[in-house]
Amino acid sequence: MTTKTQPGLKAKALSLPERNAYRRLEDVVGCKWSAGVLAAIGRGVTRPGQLERFIPGISTKVLNERLRKLLDYALIVREETPGKVPRVDYRLTATGRKLVAIIEQLRDLDEEHARGRGAAA
């Protein structure tokens, strides 16, 4: 999907499939809560109540909306364990794990950048 241009050549406009791919990405990671939900699941916080306690400020409603969105994009899977009290856990898919790794890299870059700006001030 990546289009590269040579120096001095004008870049072509984004194709419709490329624009749609960017919109999907923005829909998932453009929300201020999605990255936190993905990171928490990646760190082993898998139950809805745990997620709510782990992510400061998130409401039950927003958490449920984000979980549905992440399920729709196949970044997580929902596992139900039947029993007297049914148990629900969420796990990352292979694509979800890749995205969490990228999100962690972005977080590391942000921290590195912040340290560098602090040293320059």
Q: Which residues pair with 77 in a beta bridge?
A: 91
Using the predicted structure, report yes or no on whether residue 78 has a pLDDT greater than 80: yes
Average pLDDT, the chain: 88
Nearest partner of 97 among 41, 51, 33, 21, judged by Cα: 41
The domain segmentation of the chain, as residue ranges, is 16-120
Contact by Cβ (8 Å): 28, 75: yes
The fold for domain 16-120 equals Arc Repressor Mutant, subunit A (1.10.10)
Residue range 89-110: mean pLDDT, rounded: 94
Using the predicted structure, report yes or no on whether residue 40 has a pLDDT greater than 90: yes
The residue behind tokens 């870059």 is 109
Report percent pLDDT > 70 for the chain.
Answer: 88
Predicted confidence band at 12 (pLDDT cuts at 50, 70, 90)? Answer: confident
Contact by Cβ (8 Å): 48, 88: yes
